[in-house]
Chains A and B, each alone.
Chain A
Amino acid sequence: MGDIKIIKEKCVGCKLCVSQCPFGAISVVEKKAYIMETCTLCGVCVESCKFMAIEFQRDFAENDDAIYYEGIWVYAEHKNDHIANVTLELLGEARQLAKQLGTKVSAILLGNNVGHIAQEIIFYGADNVYVVDDPSLSDFNDESYATIATNLINKYRPEIVLVGATTYGRSLAPRISSRLHTGLTADCTKLEIDKEKRLLLQTRPAFGGNLMATIICPNHKPQMATIRPRVMKAMEPDHTRVGKIIHPAVDIPLVVLTKVLHTVNNLTEMVNLMEAEIIVSAGRGMSDPKNLKLVKELADILGAAVGASRAVVDAGWMEYSHQVGQTGKTVGPKIYFACGISGAVQHLAGMSSSDIIIAINKNPDAPIFKIATFGIVGDVLEILPILTQEFKQRLG
């Protein structure tokens, strides 16, 4: 079907492809494989066939435009006069990629009174910073930001554009990529370069992190990707770096239909989950909402953010903004304490990229222990106060 087919002569009916297909779309009848209509052309089976019996034709377009697109752009997200950490990470990564491509790194910075941030951006790796400074841009706005960014991209033609996979980034990037009618890969955790084809190899998790996919955008430019925060490495700021700060002539949209009326920052009782270095998370094993204070006490001592499993949020013990997991937030802190959390696949999808995972659960068979760096099998209600006390003493 479509562009994929089984080369019958080569197929021996070994069923390796059947077990690889995430959609159950291959069946073997009388020792020959058949691709069924549930096939989504994801291409996973092709590699799995040891007999090269699956053919999947894809054409690389003759792309004259390739030579006219050059440079790596990073969208610079900022908040309260600070550059977002993810932007620094992207600049660091972009520098690595630029080296391989022999090209430059530029940043695009939109906002109001953001001139001083531009210099910082250069210290963290940018060669150029395109600044668009205007009172109407003081709050993030999908509409005006997308229009300006798209105009700049069309004008300067970068071959790669990287955006942090933050709330704003994941809203802005597809608007831009759709307007440019180019490809966008979401939430990448690894980037590499194919020097020969001058392509960005974008690797990202799918199926809640159960499968990794490497994706390319061969026939459209620019190649766009949103990058998961806390995965790439920012470089050490080099205050001797020199770069150009450019104020391009660009039309600021006068009529903007989308209006940001006001902002409410109410997550005051805990540090932002996305930026937190340490997260202490509560699961159903906490038994009762009144026990959640044990989690909060540990978080306080550690200066950590408080997370929750879906079960805790669904039971109404904590607000949705704390939820970590597939239908909540994806986090990547240095340390993740899973307190009374069993480790369902959907929860792991949201926190498995944490550097160190500590699991406390009374069930030794809980799946969380399989991915935990350190595991304590015990009663979380008993362990937490002792842990808090120990940290209190040792940290002073």
Chain B
Amino acid sequence: MDIIVCVKQVPGTNEVKMNQETNTIIREGVEAIINPFDTYAVEEGLRIRDKIGGKVTVISMGIPKVSDLLKDTIALGVDDAILLSDRAFAGADSLATAYTLSMGIKKIHDYDLIICGKQATDGDTAQVGPSLAEKLEIPHTTYVRKIEEIKEGMIRCQRLTDDGYEVIEMPLPAVITVVKEINEPRLPSIKGMMKAKKVNVKVWNAQDIHADENMIGLKGSATWVVKTFIPEHNINSEIIDGRPEEQVKTLVDKLLSMQFFVSK
């Protein structure tokens, strides 16, 4: 089974905070990490390979430094890592990103299953997975919490819904996006880390993947950011004092006066 996992490098989210007074972003050493949801995607790819055999390739669109992150996935046991990197890819929205990834995947050529994380913690759009499936013209299912069965030509998986889950079957090749619940990611092994040190991550630019320059990066993006600002938190925080019984009474008084509840 040929498995491709799409990963993205994001800023370590703990570090991107807002200073409300000065309206500036506080970056305590913005450490770049692999998007947390993508670690579950990588792990699932490895588990499938360990169980039924095959190859796991990780692909990412990013700046050259992302190679280091991709090496970390080799240390986990990933077979191959490819970085799509080109100045022309910068400024891509999810549409242009999906297009770029699809061209990279088409160059890889052999794929049965493509796994993405549910969403990236910087953009939070959760759009690349389905968009990518569309560009490759293959089926997709989002929010996969468990794969019930996977074999040549078929996958049956559980998709998380608001009330529980539904069981969906798709032919392969297909795209799935996964949620945290699906597995517990492994740690690297020493032998893996040593292998990763020696590996050269393949880097492909726009030309290598035959990308249309009008479909990538800023040019290929349909959406633009025109403004950014810090959200207003109109919070009048009130700390309720007193002994526990008093605190509770005061709180319930306030809530009931807001008429949120209907007496039963």
Partner of B130 from A178, A263, A278, A395 at Cβ < 8 Å: A178
Closest to A225 in B: B223
Residue-wise, chain A 25-46 has the 8 Å CB interface mask toward B (1 for contact) of 0000000000001111111100
Residue-wise, chain B 149-184 has the 8 Å CB interface mask toward A (1 for contact) of 000000010111111111111110000000111000
* Nearest chain B CB to A166 CB, angstrom units: 7
Majority SS at the chain A contact face: mixed
User: Which A residues between 307 and 344 are near B, CB-CB below 8 angstroms?
Assistant: 319-321, 323, 326-328, 334-335
By the criterion CB–CB under 8 Å, are A260 and B167 in contact? yes
Given contacts A39-B90, A183-B223, A386-B248, 6 further A-B contacts (CB under 8 A): A1-B87, A42-B91, A43-B225, A174-B131, A207-B121, A208-B124
Partner of B13 from A207, A258, A264, A377 at Cβ < 8 Å: A207
Q: Which residues of B contact A319 (CB under 8 A)?
A: 181
| Measured CA separation A258–B37 after assembly (Å) | 24
Whether, in the assembled complex, B36 has its beta carbon less than 8 Å from a beta carbon of chain A, the answer is: yes
* Nearest chain A CB to B141 CB, angstrom units: 7
| Measured CA separation A328–B124 after assembly (Å) | 12
* Nearest chain B CB to A377 CB, angstrom units: 6
By the criterion CB–CB under 8 Å, are B240 and A375 in contact? yes
By the criterion CB–CB under 8 Å, are B166 and A375 in contact? no
By the criterion CB–CB under 8 Å, are A260 and B166 in contact? yes
By the criterion CB–CB under 8 Å, are B145 and A320 in contact? yes
By the criterion CB–CB under 8 Å, are A258 and B170 in contact? yes
By the criterion CB–CB under 8 Å, are A20 and B25 in contact? yes
Q: Which residues of B contact A216 (CB under 8 A)?
A: 223-224, 226
Known: A181-B95, A372-B237. A208 touches B13 (CB 8 A): yes
By the criterion CB–CB under 8 Å, are A352 and B233 in contact? yes
| Measured CA separation A334–B218 after assembly (Å) | 39
By the criterion CB–CB under 8 Å, are A378 and B247 in contact? yes
Majority SS at the chain B contact face: mixed
Whether, in the assembled complex, B51 has its beta carbon less than 8 Å from a beta carbon of chain A, the answer is: no
Chain A interface (Cβ within 8 Å of chain B)?
A: 1-3, 16, 19-24, 37-44, 47, 58, 139, 142-143, 146, 166-167, 170-175, 177-179, 181-187, 201, 204-220, 257-267, 272-275, 277-278, 302, 319-321, 323, 326-328, 334-335, 345-346, 352, 356, 358, 364, 369-379, 382-383, 386-387, 390-391, 394-396
* Nearest chain A CB to B138 CB, angstrom units: 9
Q: Which residues of B contact A181 (CB under 8 A)?
A: 95, 222
| Measured CA separation A128–B36 after assembly (Å) | 43
Q: Which residues of A contact B207 (CB under 8 A)?
A: none
Q: Which residues of B contact A39 (CB under 8 A)?
A: 90
Residue-wise, chain B 221-236 has the 8 Å CB interface mask toward A (1 for contact) of 1111111111101011
Whether, in the assembled complex, B24 has its beta carbon less than 8 Å from a beta carbon of chain A, the answer is: yes
By the criterion CB–CB under 8 Å, are A376 and B139 in contact? no
Q: Which residues of B contact A171 (CB under 8 A)?
A: 130, 140-143
Q: Which residues of B contact A345 (CB under 8 A)?
A: 13-14, 17
Known: A22-B25, A47-B228. A215 touches B236 (CB 8 A): no
By the criterion CB–CB under 8 Å, are B263 and A396 in contact? yes
Whether, in the assembled complex, B133 has its beta carbon less than 8 Å from a beta carbon of chain A, the answer is: yes
Q: Which residues of A contact B64 (CB under 8 A)?
A: 37
Q: Which residues of B contact A209 (CB under 8 A)?
A: 231
| Measured CA separation A37–B264 after assembly (Å) | 61
Among B75-83, B188-196, B252-260, the stretch that binds chain A is B252-260
Whether, in the assembled complex, B108 has its beta carbon less than 8 Å from a beta carbon of chain A, the answer is: no
Q: Which residues of B contact A170 (CB under 8 A)?
A: 126-127, 142
Q: Which residues of B contact A42 (CB under 8 A)?
A: 91, 225, 228
Q: Which 4 interchain pairs have the tightest Cβ spacing?
A: A41-B91, A183-B222, A178-B134, A183-B223
By the criterion CB–CB under 8 Å, are A174 and B130 in contact? yes
A-B contact count (CB 8 A): 318
Residue-wise, chain B 33-59 has the 8 Å CB interface mask toward A (1 for contact) of 000110000000000000000000000
Q: Which residues of B contact A346 (CB under 8 A)?
A: 13
| Measured CA separation A2–B217 after assembly (Å) | 9
Known: A167-B160, A184-B127, A210-B16. A382 touches B244 (CB 8 A): yes
Known: A376-B251, A382-B244. A320 touches B181 (CB 8 A): yes
By the criterion CB–CB under 8 Å, are A376 and B125 in contact? no
| Measured CA separation A211–B141 after assembly (Å) | 29
Q: What would 6 A/B residue contacts be, using CB atoms closer than 8 Å? A: A19-B24, A184-B222, A208-B121, A211-B16, A371-B233, A391-B252
* Nearest chain B CB to A210 CB, angstrom units: 5
Partner of A207 from B122, B135, B158, B168 at Cβ < 8 Å: B122
By the criterion CB–CB under 8 Å, are B225 and A214 in contact? yes
Known: A20-B25, A44-B225. A142 touches B140 (CB 8 A): yes
By the criterion CB–CB under 8 Å, are A387 and B248 in contact? yes
* Nearest chain B CB to A79 CB, angstrom units: 8
By the criterion CB–CB under 8 Å, are A143 and B90 in contact? no
By the criterion CB–CB under 8 Å, are A327 and B91 in contact? no
* Nearest chain B CB to A38 CB, angstrom units: 6
Whether, in the assembled complex, B187 has its beta carbon less than 8 Å from a beta carbon of chain A, the answer is: no
Whether, in the assembled complex, B112 has its beta carbon less than 8 Å from a beta carbon of chain A, the answer is: no
Whether, in the assembled complex, B30 has its beta carbon less than 8 Å from a beta carbon of chain A, the answer is: yes
Known: A206-B124, A261-B156, A394-B252. A201 touches B226 (CB 8 A): yes
| Measured CA separation A267–B163 after assembly (Å) | 5
Partner of B244 from A182, A383, A391 at Cβ < 8 Å: A383
Closest to A319 in B: B181
By the criterion CB–CB under 8 Å, are A327 and B37 in contact? yes
| Measured CA separation A79–B105 after assembly (Å) | 36
